[in-house]
Copies of this chain bind each other. A is one copy, B any other.
Amino acid sequence: MILDELRHPIVQAPMAGGTSTPALAIAVCEAGGLGFVAGGYRSVEAMQADIAAVRIGTTAPFGVNLFVPGVRSVTSVAVDEQSVDKHAVDAQALQLYVDRLGPEAEHYGTQVGVPRPDDDGWAAKLSALVADPVPIVSFTFGAPSAREISDLQGVGSQVWLTVTDVAEARAARSAGADVLVLQGVEAGGHRGSWLDVDEPEGLSTFALLRLVSRAVDLPLVAAGGLIDGPGIAAALVAGATAVQLGTAFLLCDEVGTHPVHRERLGGDTPTALTRAFTGRTARALRNRFLDAHTRGAPAAYPQVHFATAPIRAAAREQGDGDGFNLFAGQTYRLATGGSAAELVKSLGAQTRQALATAATRAEP
């Protein structure tokens, strides 16, 4: 088991859309953590290039993350019988939202993108990973079919599935997952929920850890709100084998975080959950776009992602932090930055320190 052999129990979260870089994955791996290539939003060729770059930089094990497209997760592991309907996009709500985006596009001197369904190159990416295996393949937004999972396992890859509640955890186990990534509601970026339905319970990382620990006997990686040594140590005490950190790395040198995003991470704005940017629930720093559009944004992923893409790109180019997604977890104020390798080593040491201190409290 790769997790047991890590020098530090720290997994770098795959942050798609240019945030994660091969340099980040290499730095984390070389420091004794576990780096990830973010395969989501990339062409199969770009994903392969990232994998090749990581292999040049490190001989340590690493992972690749893929997004499970909506239709796949329905045909493979259905959470309940209504799954098919729950994945359906409300065309009228989507059109209304696209209309609302018109003035935004105009404001940034661009046009609203064409909303369309897309499977993010699913079959091609899976084939590429079976043909040229990597140590770990993790999935977000659902589960591949049992066959797809066993194909990956058959070529020696571990399969990790991201879950946000106990039902998903049980389904992931049934599908054949080797490891579960438990993503709490604190996490920055997209919620990994298999279905993006309204009014989920929103289990926190530690609630999820305790509930899943008692329900499913698999190694657990805790994600969401973990950003410093005492928090990481707490997750290990609560039953995690390792933690997955995303926001913790956002200020690091090797990460593609936009300068304006970096600046706002130094502020005090609260985060919020929103579908405004991509049509799928995600946690980001509140900004003008989020506040203006959260209420009207439908559950329509990746249609909304494509519709807002030119607006977000233009806002980024213009350095306007009020026009694109400033993904961040609830504890972002504690992110430090610097070199990712130094951060992994420092967090590893702080974690051991917190665990050693814990022992002194065990005395009656």
CB within 8 Å of B: which residues of A?
7, 165-166, 184-186, 199-207, 209-211, 213-214, 224-228, 230-231, 233-239, 270-272, 329-331, 333-334, 352-359, 361-364
Q: A237-B358, A358-B358, A364-B352 are in contact. Are A230 and B207 (CB under 8 A)?
A: no
Q: Which are the 6 A-B pairs with shortest beta-carbon distances?
A: A359-B359, A204-B204, A355-B362, A234-B238, A234-B234, A207-B330
Q: Are B206 and A234 in contact (CB under 8 A)?
A: yes
Instruction: Tell me, in angstroms, the Cα distance from A1 to B207 when the chains sit together.
Output: 29
Q: From B206, B230, B356, give the contact of A205 (CB < 8 A).
A: B206
- A333 and chain B: residue at smallest CB distance: B211
Given A203-B330, A358-B359, 14 more A-B residue pairs with CB atoms under 8 Å apart are A165-B270, A186-B207, A201-B272, A204-B204, A204-B225, A206-B225, A210-B230, A210-B334, A213-B230, A230-B239, A233-B237, A234-B235, A234-B237, A352-B361
**Residues from chain B with Cβ under 8 Å of A224 in the complex:** 204
Instruction: Tell me, in angstroms, the Cα distance from A239 to B185 when the chains sit together.
Output: 21
Min C-beta distance of A126 to chain B, whole Å: 32
**Residues from chain B with Cβ under 8 Å of A231 in the complex:** 206, 209-210, 238
Min C-beta distance of A187 to chain B, whole Å: 10
Min C-beta distance of A127 to chain B, whole Å: 38
Q: Are A233 and B358 in contact (CB under 8 A)?
A: yes
Residue from the set A213, A227, A238 with the largest chain B CB neighbour count within 10 Å? A238
Q: Are B330 and A201 in contact (CB under 8 A)?
A: yes
A-B contacts, 25 listed (Cβ < 8 Å): A7-B364, A185-B185, A186-B203, A201-B271, A202-B202, A203-B330, A204-B204, A204-B206, A207-B225, A207-B329, A207-B330, A209-B231, A210-B228, A210-B230, A210-B331, A233-B358, A234-B234, A234-B238, A236-B361, A352-B363, A353-B362, A355-B359, A355-B361, A356-B359, A359-B359
**Residues from chain B with Cβ under 8 Å of A237 in the complex:** 230, 233-234, 237, 354-355, 357-358
**Residues from chain B with Cβ under 8 Å of A235 in the complex:** 234
Instruction: Tell me, in angstroms, the Cα distance from A279 to B334 when the chains sit together.
Output: 34
